[in-house]
Chains A and B, each alone.
Chain A
Amino acid sequence: MKRFCLLVLVICLCAPALAQEAPSPRQPGDADLASGRYDAYFDDAVFVGDSLTNQIHSQALASRRDGGGLLGQARFLHAHSYTLAQAAGVSANTRVQLKYRGQAVGLATGVARMGAGKVFVLLGHNDRAGTFLQRDLRNFGRVMDQVLAALPGVTFVALSLTPITRAFEEAGANSQAHVDAFNEGLRALAEEKGLYYVDVATPLKDQDGYLNPALTRDREVHLTEEGVGLVVEALRRFAWAQHEQGVWQMEEHHAQP
């Protein structure tokens, strides 16, 4: 018993020291991510989505204006209120459309015309994703198939749907449980098709699993600048992992400290 107590004591004494250890070499440091050195990964990327993607786009443009390089030279294709059903080509609603060079385009056609090397898709809020889970996942699957058919060899990245606030749920817009179920299904779907899935949702959640009220600017789904920053950080972590795994080689001038 004495030996056991001694062992517990030693572990307790060592724990703070262990917690303060340098990050594992398999994890990027915060400063490393914030430096933006992995943003070059997104140079040939096209981000597709709705008003949330528009928010990311605006922040990237502001960063570029101010001399920063948020998400490198990534390009964007978005329309407010755009739905997954429209992207999959199964919606009769043609009022809202993606536009490229002034012409209405389908999602796959658009990214193909833009010559995307990587396609990141963030869609589902305007479908109340998860309410009809199988339908929504089927639509996302269609989008994946269409993009891969239009751009063979493209890197397809499904982004998790960002969380909603408790207030938005109480207003009857959707439920966070539906969003979570959609994300779980999306993760599995991406894995099944051998595509990437990036969780940008978790860093945005509060302790109850809803969108952190401090990170939303409309108490619904739209993000503050800090919220968009957390999405970008998750994307940078993904870029870092791609680099670590040798999937993506960083050019020399980006690799310099």
Chain B
Amino acid sequence: MRNPKAGLLVSLLAIALLLGGCGGRPAPGQPVSLTDVYRQMEEQVGLPLMLEVTPELALDFYGIDTARCAQWVLRLAQDSLTADEVLLIEARDAAAAEEIHGYLQGRMEAKAAEAITYSPEQYAIIRRGHLLRDGLYLALIVSPDAEALLKVYRGQVPG
């Protein structure tokens, strides 16, 4: 005998999965170029003048060894008094993703701690920022337009 409650649950689960899939996130395993993702962020949302973080600086400043990344796009606002920062990384493996996630977490916390006394406005922007991890893909997005940037990211990066 069929349980009507179980049937309802299955139906709700199916609807939820269907709706989740409607967000437009590419399926896992699909290739993605983080350089293209960043370019789309620039084109669709716009970013202030940003500085490229070199591999040497990535290591010194964040602790991120780019040798452990399959690809990366690391950008900081050229105006150091604004909090804008976009870090997009695909780690080489799960262990690297775990380590890099820790560094990004630390970076986000440090940004907030540094801004809290000197700029409530920048602090609020940082608090609305995003720290993401989808498998080997990691991102730190801090911007007044963080939600719009996130939408671009989720439209391109497998989740």
Contact = CB atoms under 8 A, between A and B. Distances in A.
A51 B81 contact: yes
B60 interface: yes
A55 to B, nearest CB: 5
A37 to B, nearest CB: 23
A57 to B, nearest CB: 7
Contacts of B125: none
A80 B120 CA distance: 13
B81 A96 contact: no
A23 interface: no
B51 interface: yes
Interface stretch (A1-9, A58-66, A150-158): A58-66
A95 B115 CA distance: 11
B110 interface: yes
Contact of B62 (A75, A97, A102, A218): A102
A257 to B, nearest CB: 30
A102 B64 contact: yes
Contact of A57 (B59, B63, B80, B115): B80
B125 to A, nearest CB: 14
B135 interface: no
Nearest to B52: A65
Given A58-B79, A65-B51, A102-B106, A80 B115 contact: yes
Contacts of A99: 61, 63, 106, 110
A146 interface: no
Chain B interface secondary structure, helix, strand, loop or mixed? helix
Give the interface residue-count category, chain A. 20 to 34
B66 to A, nearest CB: 13
Contacts of B11: none
B81 A217 contact: yes
Contacts of A103: 63
Contact of A51 (B57, B78, B80): B80
B51 A61 contact: yes
B114 interface: yes
Nearest to B62: A102
A51 B81 CA distance: 7
A79 interface: yes
A101 B72 CA distance: 17
Nearest to B110: A99
A55 B79 CA distance: 7
A58 B118 contact: no
B114 A79 contact: yes
Contacts of B117: 81
A218 B81 contact: yes
A166 interface: no
A80 B115 CA distance: 7
Contacts of A82: 114
Contacts of A61: 51, 57, 78
A222 B62 contact: no
B118 A51 contact: yes
Contacts of A114: 60
Interface in A67-118: 75, 79-82, 95-97, 99-103, 114
Interface in B108-129: 110, 113-118
Interface string A154-177: 000000000000000000000000
16 contacts: A51-B80, A51-B81, A61-B51, A62-B51, A81-B113, A81-B114, A81-B117, A82-B114, A95-B116, A96-B113, A97-B110, A100-B60, A101-B59, A102-B62, A102-B64, A114-B60
